[in-house]
Amino acid sequence: MNVMLRTAVLLSLALLAGCSSIQPWVMPYERGYLADPIMDPDRDRLVSSHRRHVFDVREGASGAAGTSGGGCGCN
């Protein structure tokens, strides 16, 4: 578990710090569709959190049910 978590953390730091030399292949002006609210699964936060809460208290599993946040890269 610890090895997995540490690997994930190191990978994240690598992404955060050093991978900016890779060129983006979807230009900002091509991201109009991605910016549409219809692409955001969590666009109505109250509604989706209510639904998630109902399942969370009735199921054994929980976690990783939301989205990563952001994501369209269209700003």
Partner 1 sequence: MAATERFGGASRLAPAVLVVALLLLPAAGAQVLPEDRADAMYHYYSGGGVDVEGAAFLVRKGFADTVSVSVGYYQDTISGASPDVMATASPYTERRDEYQAGVDYLYGDSILSLEWTRSEEIDYEGNTVSLGISHEVFGGMTTVSLGYAHGSDTVSHRDTDFEEDLDRRTYRLGLSQVLTPTFLLNLDYEGISESGFLGNPYRSKRMLGVFAGPEIYPSTRTSNAVRIQGVKYFPPGASAQLAYRYYRDTWSIDAHTLEAQYSRYFYDRRWLVDLTYRYYTQSAASFYSDDFDREFTYMARDKEVSTFTSNSVGARVSYRLFDRPGALFNAGRAIFAYDYVAFDYDDYSDASRSGDDPYSFNAHIMSVSVSLWY
Q: Does 13 bind partner 1 (CB under 8 A)?
A: yes
Q: Does 7 bind partner 1 (CB under 8 A)?
A: no
Say which residues have a Cβ less than 8 Å from residue 65's Cβ, sequence separation at least 6: 52, 55, 56
Query: What string marks each residue from 41 to 70 as x (binds partner 1 by CB under 8 A) or -?
Result: x--xxxx--xx--xx-xxxxxxxxxxxxxx
Tell me which residues touch partner 1 (CB under 8 A). 1-2, 5-6, 8-9, 12-13, 15-17, 19-20, 22-26, 28, 30-34, 36-39, 41, 44-47, 50-51, 54-55, 57-75
